[in-house]
Amino acid sequence: MAHAVTEVIGIISSDTKWTKAKSPYNITGPVLVKKGVTLTIEAGAIVNINEYYIQVNGTLRVIGRSDDLVRISGNELRFTKDSPSWDEQTGSGSIIENAFLDLKLLKVDTRGLLISHNYTLERSPEPKISNNYIIGKISAGHAIVTNNLIRGSISDAYNKVINNTISKGCSGSADFINNTVGAGIGGGGTILNNTIGGKVDVMKARIAGNIIKGGITIFSGIVESNLILAGGTYGIEIDGGICVIQNNTIMNCTIGFYSEKGTGEIHYNNIIGCMQELVKLKYPSQTSDINATYNWWGTTDEQEISKRIHDSKYDFNLGTVIFKPFLTAPNPQAPEPRTRIEFLQSYEPLFPGETPEPPYIEEEDLTTTTPTPHSPAPTSQQETSTPNPEIQQKDQTTAIIGSIIVIVVLVTGLSLLIYLIKK
C-alpha cells in the first residue's frame, strides 16, 4: 500500500511528530525546529531532505528501532548551540537512535547531542556518535565518534574518533585511535594504532603504532613505532619544529627522511627498500644538523650509507647529518616488515539490503628494491641516452660508404705507385 507524501517547509513552531504512516516526509525548502520546540521522528519514518537542510535550534528526537530504522537522507542536518543537551536522567534533549543516515553533512555545534545505535545511553557534555551507519561528512566539535561505519569523512576540532571504519579522510586537532581510514589524516592531536590508506600531515602530534600508506609530514611532535609504506614518496618529512622519530619501519620510499627545516632526533629506525637518498636536507632552509645515529640503513657499508645522505658534503650551506654510530642489523623493537598489507581502498559500509563490495586492496612491500645509484660527491653529470634505431642505421650506412671510399683510395694509390716504379 502506497503512502501519501507529506511535504514540509518553513518553521516548526510547536511540538510535532513525524510518523511512519505519513511517510515519506519530503522537504521542499529549509526547515527550522524553533528553540523550545521538539520534533519527534518515530520508528519507520522516512525523511527526504533533498537539496535543502533541517536546522535544529530546539530538540530533535529520532527514535527508531533496531528492526524498524528511521531513514534520513539528503543534504544537511545541523544542530546549533541552542539545541539542548541530552540528559539521561530526565530523558530530555536531542537524540538520534537506530537511524539510517544518508547525508552530505551532519553538523553538530551543540555539546550535548547523542547519536547512537546503542540501547545503553550515557550522559556526557560531549556529542556521542556511535554504532551508526552514516553516509556523508561529519562535522562536529568536542564529539566522541565510536564504532561507526562511515561512508564519508570526519572534520573539526577536539574530537575523539575511536574504532571506526571511515572511507575517506579525517582532519582537525583530534584523537584518532584504532580506526581504519581509507584516505589520509590531517591536523594534530594523537594518532594511535590506526590503519591509514593515505598520507598523514600533522603538526604538534604524536603518531604511534600505526600502519600508514603514503608517508608522514610533521611539524613538531613524536613519531614512533609505525610501519610506513611510503608508496614511492618520502617516508617521513620534517616540516619544522622539533621532532623525535624512533623505532619506525619505513618501506618502499624514494627518500627515507626529508628535512625541510627544524631539528630532529632520528634513532632506532629501520629503512628498507629506499630507492634514492636515505636522508635529504632541503636547500636552503635546512641549515641545522640532524642527529640520526643508531638507525638500520639496510647495509653495514659506511661509505654506501654516507654517499646516500644528502647534507653539507654536497652543499656547504646545508647542515650535517650525524649517522655514526649506526645499527649493523634491523632493530627488533621496530615493527616487522610485512610481505602484504591490507589498506582500505573504497569501502562501502554494509547497510541493510546492500550488496557487499570488496573493501580492501592488497599492497605488496618491495623489500628488494634496488637503490638508484648515487655518486659519493658532487661531480659533472654524465648524460646518457637511448639509441635511436634510425640514427643507428644511418650511422652504419655512413660507415660502410666511408670504408668503400678508403679502399678505393688505397687501391688507386697502390696502382699509381706500381706504375711509377715500373716506369
Q: Where are the domains of the chain?
A: 1-147, 177-374
What is the predicted pLDDT for the residue at 235?
95
CA distance 309 to 280: 6
What is the predicted pLDDT for the residue at 384?
32
Give the CA radius of gyration of the chain. 33
Tens of pLDDT along 263-275? 889 999 999 989 9
Q: Which residue would you say has higher pLDDT here, 42 or 385? A: 42
Tens of pLDDT along 217-262? 999 999 999 999 987 789 999 999 999 999 999 998 999 999 998 8
What is the predicted pLDDT for the residue at 247?
98
What is the predicted pLDDT for the residue at 416?
53
pLDDT at 367 over 50: no
pLDDT bracket for residue 318 (50, 70, 90): very high
Closest CA to 182 of 345, 385, 384: 345
Out of 86-100, 163-177, 250-264, 284-298, least confident range: 86-100
Tens of pLDDT along 66-112? 889 899 998 999 988 888 877 777 878 888 888 888 888 777 776 55
pLDDT bracket for residue 11 (50, 70, 90): very high
In this prediction, residues 389-410 reach a mean pLDDT of 50
Query: Cβ contacts of residue 108 below 8 Å, gap of 6+?
Result: 78, 79, 115, 127, 129, 138, 139, 140, 141, 143
pLDDT > 90: what percent of the chain?
48
pLDDT bracket for residue 114 (50, 70, 90): low
Query: Cβ contacts of residue 30 below 8 Å, gap of 6+?
Result: 9, 10, 52, 53, 54, 55
pLDDT bracket for residue 410 (50, 70, 90): low
What is the predicted pLDDT for the residue at 419?
54
Query: Cβ contacts of residue 367 below 8 Å, gap of 6+?
Result: 251, 272, 273, 337
What is the predicted pLDDT for the residue at 362?
43
Query: Cβ contacts of residue 179 below 8 Å, gap of 6+?
Result: 161, 162, 163, 164, 165, 166, 170, 194, 195
pLDDT bracket for residue 151 (50, 70, 90): confident
What dihedral angle (degrees, nearest 10) is formed by the CA atoms of 277, 279, 283, 288?
-160
Closest CA to 285 of 330, 219, 227, 222: 219
pLDDT at 304 over 50: yes
DSSP reduced 3-state for 131: coil
> Which sign, positive or negative, has the C-alpha torsion 326, 330, 336, 342?
positive
Q: Which residue would you say has higher pLDDT here, 128 or 297? A: 297
What is the predicted pLDDT for the residue at 364?
43
What is the predicted pLDDT for the residue at 125?
47
In this prediction, residues 158-175 reach a mean pLDDT of 88
- pTM equals 0.69
In this prediction, residues 378-388 reach a mean pLDDT of 36
In this prediction, residues 169-176 reach a mean pLDDT of 90
Q: What is the mean pLDDT of the chain?
A: 80
Q: Which residue would you say has higher pLDDT here, 29 or 135? A: 29
Tens of pLDDT along 178-196? 999 988 999 999 999 999 9
Closest CA to 143 of 169, 162, 167, 165: 162
At 174, the amino acid letter reads A
**Cell numbers at 18, concatenated:** 513525524
pLDDT at 388 over 60: no
pLDDT at 1 over 70: no
What is the predicted pLDDT for the residue at 356?
44
What is the predicted pLDDT for the residue at 117?
47
Q: Which residue would you say has higher pLDDT here, 170 or 110? A: 170
Tens of pLDDT along 32-72? 999 999 999 999 999 999 999 999 999 999 999 888 989 99
CA distances to 137, 208, 265 from 190, rounded to whole Å, are 21, 8, 19
